[in-house]
Amino acid sequence: MESLDEKDDKELVQGYLDGQEEVLPYLINKHLKSVYRFVFGLVLDEAVAEDITQDVFVKVWKKLKSYDSNHSFKTWLFAVARNTTIDYFRKKKDIVFSKFDSEEDNNFIAETLVDEEPLIDEVLSRVQDMTVFNEAIKQLQSIYREVLIMRYTNDLSVEEISEILKRPIETVKSQHRRGILHLKELLSRMY
């Protein structure tokens, strides 16, 4: 019987699809480091890269049946990794229009207007600024820093943050918006 080490990726995938459960952990371990390095190169944050890498392999597991064996598994895997990383950046994009704030700190435009297709230059500039971003966020008042870190480092929704902090959702949205404004000011001073 041929060992897993002797099989190529296409054979491994087919083996898993044929019911060989031990193949999936082997396939993940085979590609884990290279996917992590790829993702880390895009996000420049170890914790985020670990989370995204985990998400990549969850997606691979869920979508393995849709893999087309006429194409390279590694190419398909890295496309999943790239798309998962892009999804991460899309989730992070907020447009702030503070002049549309109401007296109750509601901002219907900032809450609903999100560009689903960020320009590649914008994504690259975000990646290059991660060290500066981390330094700037340390300078924020704790009330804003706490919300931004939960939102962007831990990828928590506004609702989850509201529940954790035991604050109304609108208060969290306002603190998020103001934290972003302060962060932008700090970043502009750092450049």
In this prediction, residue 128 has a pLDDT band, given cuts at 50, 70 and 90, of low
Checking if the pLDDT of 32 tops 90, the result is yes
Q: Work out the widest C-alpha separation in the chain, in whole angstroms.
A: 72
pLDDT at residue 97, as a whole number = 38
Q: What is the pLDDT of residue 29?
A: 93
Average pLDDT over residues 89-94: 71
DSSP-derived secondary structure for 121-150: HHHHHHHHTHHHHHHHHHTS-HHHHHHHHH
Residue 50 exposed, middle or buried by CB count within 10 Å (0-12, 13-18, 19+): middle
Q: Please tell me the predicted confidence (pLDDT) of residue 74.
A: 80
Provide the pLDDT for residue 102. Answer: 44
User: What architecture does CATH give domain 98-190?
Assistant: Orthogonal Bundle (1.10)
98-190 and 4-92 share a CATH fold: no
**CA atoms in the 13 A half-sphere facing the CB of 129:** 16
Q: Which CATH class is domain 4-92?
A: mainly alpha
Pair of tokens at residue 163: 């529940």
Question: How many percent of the chain have pLDDT more than 70?
Answer: 71
Query: In the chain, what are the domain boundaries?
Result: 4-92, 98-190
